[in-house]
Structure 1
Amino acid sequence: MYTSNKAKNQRHSFVVGVEYAHEDFFLELELGTFRTTSLHAQRIANSVNSIVLLKDHMVVIFKNAESITINDDFLKQAYKFRVCIKPKLLPLELSALSHREREEFIRNQAYIVTEEDMKEVNWDIKTAFQYLQQQYDARDQAYFPFSLSSSYVIPVSTHEQQEVHHAT
């Protein structure tokens, strides 16, 4: 008999990834395709603690204190970079604004970044590192820490699952 409990625990294929940001520079990292439950796929996405970009590699640190190193020879296809192309506006001192002005600021589209404001760039790790050094006038900075922006779990369609299964 088919019950909702069985449906919840059914295994499917999911593409799991995370997006991390440093200011207006974004890194999308695909963790992989996993055959698991939806809940477990989300736990995999949430297992990443932080990402650090260094001169010629990235270190992905997991919540269990383990880490992996990614360079342009290893897992190059797993990541991509995006930059915000929306012109930067001068920062505002929010404490100087009245309550009504703050409410208007929150809804001001000039300060909201959308997908259309993002541009994917085909950069290797060294180019991304150099961009951050130049962009933030940080020539002596040895690394750039990224903070979590979002995570995703995308179900792979049944048709694609069959193709993957037949290909292996």
Structure 2
Amino acid sequence: MGDVHIEGGPRAILTVGDVARRSGVTVSTLHFYEREGLIHSTRTAGNQRRYKREVLRRIAFIRTAQRIGISLAEIRDALGTLPAARTPTRHDWERLSAVWRDDLDRRIRQLEHLRSDLTDCIGCGCLSLGVCALQNPRDEHGREGPGPRFWED
């Protein structure tokens, strides 16, 4: 099925299949995004979903944010800052990505730290190592309970 011609001109309203094909996500992902409040659709009299064409940019925004490690909750919060749930613009992306920059920098530092210590350290505690000469001599942090201790800054 091709794009649906609805009031507002050709391609103004898309079926779920059209959106899935054009956005590169599955229909089930679209349904999930909708349940999570990330995108919105209207329903036909036959209860079929219809999307405004602008949803494609919103999905691109969601997918890009996910690729850089932003959680769906943070993406939903960010999209919620847009007036009348409109489609994000380049200015919106610049503003929101600046907010996420500090978190990304923190994660980059964590990964660099992990890469440097990967051979000798696995987070002190995550496998109940008796001694970690790097950060946990005499298993001092093992008394704090199970799990890694040095993954966060």
Same fold, TM exceeding 0.5? Answer: no
TM-score for the superposition, normalised by structure 2: 0.23
**Greater helix content:** 2
Q: Which has the larger radius of gyration?
A: 2
**Greater strand content:** 1
